[in-house]
Amino acid sequence: MIMNLLAGIDISKLLGLALRTSIGVQSAVFALAAVGLNLHYGYTGLLNFGVVAFMAAGAYGMAIFFTQGWLGGSILLAIAAGLVFAVGIALSIGLPSLRLRADYLAITTIAIAEVLRISFRSQRLLDLTGGPFGLPSIEDRNAEVSFSEIITVDWNPINDGIYGFWRLRFDEQTLWVMILGWTLVLLSTLLIWGLMRSPWGRVIKAIREDEDAARALGKNVFSYKLQSLIIGGMIASLAGVTRAMNTGFVETQQFKPQTTFFIWTVLILGGAASIWGPVIGAMAFWFIIIFVEELLRQMVDSGWVPEAVLASNDIASVRMIMMGVMLGVLMIWRPQGLVGKKEEAQIDVR
Amino acid sequence: MSDSAPLNSFPAEIGSSKPDPILTVDDMVRTFGGLRAVDINHLEVQRGIITAFIGPNGAGKTTLFNLITGFDKPDSGSWVFDDASIGGKAPHIIAQAGMVRTFQLTKSLAKMTVLDNMLLGASNQRGERLRYALVPTQWKKQERQVLEKAEDLLDRFNLAHMRDEYAATLSGGQRKLLEMARALMSEPRLILLDEPMAGVNPALVESLLQHIENLRDEGVSVLFIEHDMDVIMGISDWIVVLAEGRIIAEGTPSEVSKNPAVIDAYLGSSIAEELKDV
């Protein structure tokens, strides 16, 4: 009976695809954004529901700077421009709303993210952002060089070929972007680790616990919150930059609000306020999504699930339902996430 | 009693001037709608002694604390701490100036250890500045000094055995102790304690009172709020009685307890309240 059940299921393909995605560029992108959100929410307690605004700022800032060929069209300068744009977003969110209660920040962040995305789409900015079409190939218009070509070909130290084993094989371009992405993840995680073990991190955590207590002890809460928003925002903007390196284009559909909630899922899944939580969370997120999707697909294809119950083109939505169910289950049995501290999660649960 | 001016040398009248005030408040008004929660013409708090604010519920004690420490803004008024005008300054600036407060509802930082709570209290830490945070060599030395001071204070407040526990695991009384000890980390010149005895196990009250007296003997000026008359009489050097936002009396405990206005406003109201239940 069991053999029968497994007959239509290709386990090697199932695990292979899921694993492949969980170590892929997309996973690194989510991990980066979650590292930034972890500083905001996990450590500082800032309810940032506009993570995607920082990703968009990074990607578009870089892409616009590069396509316009400003300052000689250097890639590193373009990436720096993306970071500066993210700082600007952090300031424009933080200056008006960080003095107010936490929920106002939540509203402001979600609004700024949408304002930014819709502005990028507007016809008025067609020359700069490409409007609804985005920037299909990020290339310097004056020099006619493409951003992704420089990164994945010119700067690529890896020889042409296919690397890896089993189902985890990648060509030299994908592999190179993966290395870049995960290196950024590692560096930003180290940055957070270094900051959080310092007295600076102690103040940040105190603000999460009780702002007024921190104020009463002479800490400039507003300034620390702004610093946290800026640093986390810059890390999240690198997520946008990394995604642009991978896809070679930017468009506004990549920065819809749902991405923000995926990043939140990643953080909660992995464990907020833990150093490796965002990384583990991103890998687990993509593993689960792809595993469920592929399993359903194989079950439909092999006839275990009749077409009347679930058609192949519905699978993409079902996997999100499964994700929601899993997050709910996790909240009940493991509120600290996969690698969070159990004792911490149990405090304040009365 | 501290070795500064003998207390009976300054007059027990409202707004009386003190020989060496650490805090002076002038014309402070705070209204909430039609209610004048705080309305004070002149108040001086003497340096080096224990001063208590007492008054029935709603007298404006905590509001006055919030105003002095910058957590609330008065409609008008000015106040001077140790010759520096701090009116209208942000709470953290006032705390840095040497005037640190605690809260009526304790604000222990639940998901941080008792020790981290203490370390946070120290002021002027280099490592709290972003540009040094990533370079431990810049702050390790100071961190060791801060750690020493924290362990010393935890010892004194009988919290040493809890140092690595989350603050959330402390009892109500221990949290009060922790909050007081944490405030002392910054070596304040004036410490404001908002009902330090409220909700504390009676067995701990005695030791809390002892700590407050020790503070004074070490030269810290103490200003605290309490509405339990019995507690206050034994420990305070000077009492300021508030009712409905105004100061209705000032003086030493024995002077205040004989003051007819106080008996009327304070004891009278509590008797009236008791009668209501009958």
pLDDT at B267: 62
Report CB contact under 8 Å: B133, A201: yes
More confident position, B153 or B265: B153
| Residue A349 in contact with partner chain B when CB distance is under 8 A | no
Give the pLDDT confidence score for residue A329 in this predicted structure: 85
Interface mutation vs chain A, best among B115, B125, B128, most A CBs within 10 Å? B128
Average pLDDT of span A206-214: 94
Question: Nearest-CA distance from A218 to chain B in Å?
Answer: 4
d(CA B8, CA B5): 9
Which pLDDT belongs to residue A86? 97
Mutate to test the interface with A, among B93, B111, B178 (most CBs of A within 10 A): B111
Residues of chain A found within 8 Å of residue B93, distances taken between Cβ atoms? 218
The highest-confidence range among A103-117, A156-170, B226-240, by mean pLDDT, is A103-117
| A200·B130 Cβ contact <8 A | yes
User: Hey, what are B233's tokens?
Assistant: 């009489």
CB nearest to B120's CB, from A195, A198, A217: A217
CB contact A256 to B (< 8 Å): no
Q: Do A209 and B109 touch (CB under 8 A)?
A: yes
Instruction: Assign residue A69 the CATH number of its domain.
Output: 1.10.3470
* pLDDT score recorded for residue A166: 86
Question: How many angstroms away from the CA of A1 is the closest CA of chain B?
Answer: 51
CATH superfamily of B7-107+188-277: P-loop containing nucleotide triphosphate hydrolases (3.40.50.300)
In angstroms, rounded to a whole number, what is the distance separating the alpha carbons of residues B155 and B157?
A: 5
Quote the CA–CA distance of A319 and A315 in Å, as a whole number. Answer: 6
How far apart are alpha carbons B238 and B253 in whole angstroms?
6
Average pLDDT, stretch A81-85? 96
Nearest CA in chain A to B111: A344
Q: Which residue of A has its CA nearest to B125?
A: A199
Question: pLDDT value at position B17?
Answer: 85
- A 10 A CB-CB count for A247 gives 17
Distance from CA of A341 to the nearest CA of B (A): 10
B16: confidence class by pLDDT, cuts 50, 70, 90 = confident
Euclidean distance between CA atoms B29 and B63, whole angstroms: 11
Q: What percent of chain A has pLDDT over 90?
A: 54
Contact A200 B112 (CB under 8 A): no
A114 at interface of B, judged by CB pairs closer than 8 A: no
Contact in structure between B157 and B211 (CB atoms under 8 Å)? yes
The mean pLDDT of chain A is 89
Choose from B68, B81, B109, B191 for mutation: most chain A CBs within 10 A: B109
SS3 content of chain A, % helix, strand, coil (to 5): 75, 5, 20
Tell me if chain B has a CB within 8 Å of the CB of A226: no
DSSP string, A187-246: HHHHHHHHHHTSHHHHHHHHHHH-HHHHHHTT--HHHHHHHHHHHHHHHHHHHHHHHHHH
Judge whether B178 and B109 are in contact, CB under 8 Å. no
Q: Which residues of chain A from 169 to 208 reach within 8 Å of chain B, CB to CB? A: 191, 194-195, 198-203, 205-206, 208
Dump the DSSP string for B31-78: EETTEEEEEEEEEEEETTSEEEEE-STTSSHHHHHHHHTTSS--SEEE
Q: What percent of chain A has pLDDT over 70?
A: 96
What is residue A287's predicted lDDT score, i.e. its pLDDT?
94
CB B22 within 8 A of CB B82: yes
DSSP 3-state of A349: coil
Do A47 and A264 meet the contact criterion of CB atoms below 8 Å apart? no
Test B120 with A227 for CB contact under 8 angstroms. no
The beta-carbon neighbor of B166 closest among A199, A215, A347 is: A347
| pLDDT of A232 above 90 | yes
Domain segments of chain B: what residues?
7-107+188-277, 109-169
Query: In chain A, which residues have their Cβ closer than 8 Å to the Cβ of B102?
Result: 216
Contact B92 A213 (CB under 8 A): no
Query: β-strands B221-225, B50-54: how paired?
Result: parallel
What value does the mean pLDDT take over residues A89-111? Answer: 89
Domain of residue A151: give its range. 2-346
Q: How many other CB atoms sit within 10 Å of the CB of residue A254? A: 20
B101, closest residue in chain A (CA to CA): A216
pLDDT at A4: 60
B103 vs A213: CB contact, 8 Å cut-off? yes
State whether B139 and A209 contact (CB < 8 Å): no
Residue B4: pLDDT band (50, 70, 90) is very low
- Prediction ipTM score: 0.89
Q: Verify whether the Cβ–Cβ distance B128 to A200 is below 8 Å.
A: yes
* Residues B215, B181: Cα–Cα separation, whole Å: 11
> Residues B100-112: what's their mean pLDDT?
91
Distance from CA of A101 to the nearest CA of B (A): 14
Identify the burial level of A199 via C-beta atoms within 10 angstroms of its C-beta, where 0-12 means exposed, 13-18 middle and 19 or more buried: buried
Contact A218/B at CB under 8 A: yes
Question: Given a cut of 90, is residue B18 above it in pLDDT?
Answer: no
Closest CA to B267 of B243, B247, B251: B243
Chain B interface includes A343 (CB < 8 A): yes
Residues B92, A215: C-beta atoms closer than 8 Å: yes
CA distance A346 to chain B (A): 10
Instruction: Report pLDDT for B3.
Output: 45
Between CA A230 and CA A220 the distance in angstroms is 16
d(CA B225, CA B51): 9
Range among A40-49, A100-109, B168-177 with highest mean pLDDT value: A40-49
Over 80: is that where the pLDDT of A193 sits?
A: yes
- B105 pLDDT tier (thresholds 50, 70, 90): confident
Could you give the number of structural domains in chain A?
A: 1
Q: What is the pLDDT of residue A2?
A: 57
Contact B112 A202 (CB under 8 A): yes
Task: Point out the least confidently predicted range of A194-198, A233-237, B170-174, B238-242.
Answer: B170-174
Q: Across the interface, do A218 and B96 touch by the CB < 8 Å criterion?
A: yes
In the prediction, which pLDDT does B275 show? 56
A200/B129 Cβ within 8 A: yes
pLDDT of residue A350: 42
Q: Is the pLDDT of residue A142 over 90?
A: no
Question: Residue B52: which pLDDT band, with cuts at 50, 70 and 90?
Answer: very high
- Provide the pLDDT confidence category of residue B254 given band limits of 50, 70 and 90: confident
What average pLDDT score do residues A222-236 get? 97
The dihedral formed by the CA atoms of A224, A276, A113 and A80, expressed in degrees to the nearest 10: 80
B-chain CB neighbours of A214 within 8 Å are 92, 120
Render pLDDT for B125-171 as a digit per residue (tens, 0 to 9): 999 999 999 999 999 999 999 999 999 999 999 999 999 999 999 98
Closest partner residue to B91 among A191, A202, A215, by Cβ?
Answer: A215
In this prediction, residues B6-21 reach a mean pLDDT of: 77
Query: In angstroms, rounded to a whole number, what is the distance separating the alpha carbons of residues A57 and A109?
Result: 13
